[in-house]
Amino acid sequence: MKLHKESKGTITVATILFIIISVLAIYFLKMWSLLIIMPILVVYSLVFWFFRVPERDILEHRENVIAPVDGKVVMIKEVDETEFIKGKAIQVSIFMSPLNVHICRYPVSGKVIYKKYHPGKYLVAWHEKSSTENERTTVAVETATNHKVVFRQIAGYVARRIVFYCNEGDQAKAGHEFGFIKFGSRMDVFLPLDTEIICKIGDITKGGLDVIAKMKD
């Protein structure tokens, strides 16, 4: 199983803690040490599972908007996007549990024209206000169809580390990685009002694979 590059520090700490706890349990508890070691081993294994990088066949897209993350669609509504679009947009929000793949992918192809990191709170990620009050990043892409699409990584109650690798001027390719969020969070995508929304609330998405909307060319 391939692991993400963001796993190095977390896995190193988890390995050291697992060894220390196991040694202490064996020394003090003898045959009863398995009562401690087995639950810790499950948690240790979940750390590796969280940082997995699945193999996915990413296609070329022009009008299609691709799910940027693995997760569950929790919101589709018309909103005012005040940071970059400064007007009405359709917001599609996808919530990631700690068990989802947490690679963040470009939802559209085009050119990165805006990026900004915002410090903030750590409300639960499904809270509507988390989009504007939590720690977050905002990226905007001018698409191949001449639209401006904004998407936002949002830290949740558990997630306390957001990374994004893109810079203004970069070429965005729908489905390809641009960042990572550790341990559960949310991605918001803000689309033009005339976008055809294909997904619905409750849908389970696969990042880089599932088409969630289609823009007019």
CB of 165 within 8 A of CB of 137?
no
CATH code reported for the domain at 62-212:
2.70.70.10
Q: What are 56-109's pLDDT values in tens digits?
A: 999 999 999 999 999 999 999 999 999 999 999 999 999 998 889 999 999 999
CB of 68 within 8 A of CB of 106?
yes
Q: What are 6-34's pLDDT values in tens digits?
A: 999 999 999 999 999 999 999 999 989 99
Q: What are 125-162's pLDDT values in tens digits?
A: 555 665 667 888 999 999 999 999 999 999 866 555 78
Residue ranges of E strands in the chain: 64-66, 71-81, 87-96, 103-105, 110-118, 136-143, 148-155, 162-164, 171-172, 177-181, 185-191, 196-197, 204-205, 211-214
CB of 195 within 8 A of CB of 215?
yes
Residue 121 burial by Cβ neighbours in a 10 Å radius (0-12, 13-18, 19+): middle
Told to judge if 185 belongs to the known catalytic residues of this protein, a careful annotator would answer yes
Q: Write phi, then psi, for 214 (nearest 5 degrees).
A: -140, 125
pTM: 0.89
Q: Which listed residue (7, 93, 109, 185) is catalytic?
A: 185
User: How confident is the model at residue 183, as a pLDDT?
Assistant: 72
Query: How does the average pLDDT of the chain come out, rounded?
Result: 92
